[in-house]
Amino acid sequence: MISKTIRIRFAPSPTGYLHVGGLRTALYNYLFARQNKGVFILRIEDTDRTRYVEGAVENLINTLRWAGLDFDEGPKKGGSFGPYIQSERLDIYRKYAEQLVNDGKAYYCFCTSERLEKMRDDLEGTGAFAKYDKTCLKLSQSDIEKNLAVRSTYVIRMKVPENRIIKFHDLIREEVEIASDLIDDQVLIKSDGYPTYHLANVVDDHLMKVTHVIRGEEWLPSVPKHILLYEYFGWEIPKLAHLPLLLNADRSKLSKRQGDVAVEDYKAKGYLKEGLVNFVAFLGWNPGDEREIFSLDELVKEFSLERVGKAGAIFNIEKLNWINLQHIHQKTNEDLIPILKEILSNSKYKGLNLSDEYLANVIGAMRVRINYVSGILEKSSYFFEQPQSYDENVLKKHWRQETPNQLSKLIKEYSLLQNPTKEDYETALKKTAEQLGIGAGKLIHPTRLAVSGMGEGPGLYDILFTLGKEEVIKRIETAINKIKF
């Protein structure tokens, strides 16, 4: 355990949905905070107004809570260091930016976007590193005052020292060095008055007493800018840990082009929160042994930054499916009913009024055949509507000229049943086959085709029992009338 009170923050941008990489960052922060009896903070970094999506903050909060990652301080929950939404803290950032200007650590820049674009093009044309040429750093005080007096558009830039090696220790990367000559004079306050990530992040982490910053590897090149800001303000630098990238199977950066990347997409498909969180925990971390199935509480006990690797982590959907299936096995049919109900409510079957008993039977029949709950709709829509068509290959193989007559006899036998069990359906079918002098398979395959439209699936008698006698008889009669030999 760490003696100092740990304060950890997850600081997403409200851009519409929670990326699975964001869930991993939130999870690792949460696990580290809980393991060390610390504080888990949610801070919304919404200073890039071009990317802001209405309703995204509420969605972020709801998605985190769905995953079981409830925060101790944050929007709508409060805390001693609020507000926790950056757009509500603009005066704070302005004050600290002006302090840097007054201290000679930052300066006003009045360059137009056209000049900056030409400057970048010229530098790139020579093969030089394209960064700001410090033109406005050379302005006299009178020039600055004149520009401010006539309300010229400006930004505030950080003054980056030249010819310096900036070193820092990363809990995952260990010792890192970056030359200051590769760092631009970063904009701290944009022309719209909003801070950039760099200023807001440093100011907020300091004021919110954040002790550890755990975030994605993509922020690693920005660390020297942040270190300079900490030095300029005379503040203590939090401990840093930069997580490995998430990669597709081809080792390209994980993107929506190759599959779902939003947590909400996996939730909508009926992946269990336990399965998704378990899988995401292994995207960069491992427990050091062969165990793969963990609850959230078990992850809290086992997690350590020392076991987070540097190499990119492959997002393997087959692995996710397998892990999710193990968590499905740990649930009862009744546990999965609310998930199936939500999926149905967002499907074309939303108008169906199905009992919990019926849904439990559907889940019981399909649970060993699915990796996520919406797989029930994908693989067995016949539980929610009559077959719209019949598998041609099964028809050719199992539907004969005599089949309608044989199924008619089965209907008569089924009509005699009272509140039939699965065993009753089986007994009646075998009895009918015996009376017809045929093997049971001659009835099993056509009956399955008639009630489901398919040649495979769960046990036939599970299907018949779940659908109920009246529905089974109706579907067999429909098949007899629709299928012409």
Token output for 245:
């990238």
Tokens 């069990």 map to which residue?
A: 421
Nearest-angstrom CA–CA distance, 356 and 361: 9
Q: What is the dihedral of CA 198, 200, 203, 208, to 10 degrees?
A: -120
Q: Residue 20: which of 379, 273, 294 has the closest Cα?
A: 273
Given 256, 301, 397, 412, the catalytic residue: 256
| Other C-beta atoms lying within 10 Å of the C-beta of residue 195 | 27
Residues 383 and 362: beta-carbon distance below 8 Å = yes
SS3 state at 249: coil
Nearest-angstrom CA–CA distance, 402 and 128: 83
Nearest-angstrom CA–CA distance, 422 and 420: 7
Residues 315 and 246: beta-carbon distance below 8 Å = yes
Nearest-angstrom CA–CA distance, 320 and 339: 18
First vs last C-alpha separation in the chain: 74
Residues 163 and 172: beta-carbon distance below 8 Å = no
- CA 108 to chain centroid, in Å, comes to 40
Q: Assess whether 396 carries a catalytic annotation.
A: no
**417 beta partners:** none
Token output for 456:
């495979």
Q: Concatenated DSSP letters for 333-351?
A: HHHHHHHHHHHHHTSTTTT
E strand or H helix at 289, and its extent?
none
β-pairing, 7-10 vs 39-42, is parallel
Amino acid at 241: A
* Catalytically active residues, by annotation: 256
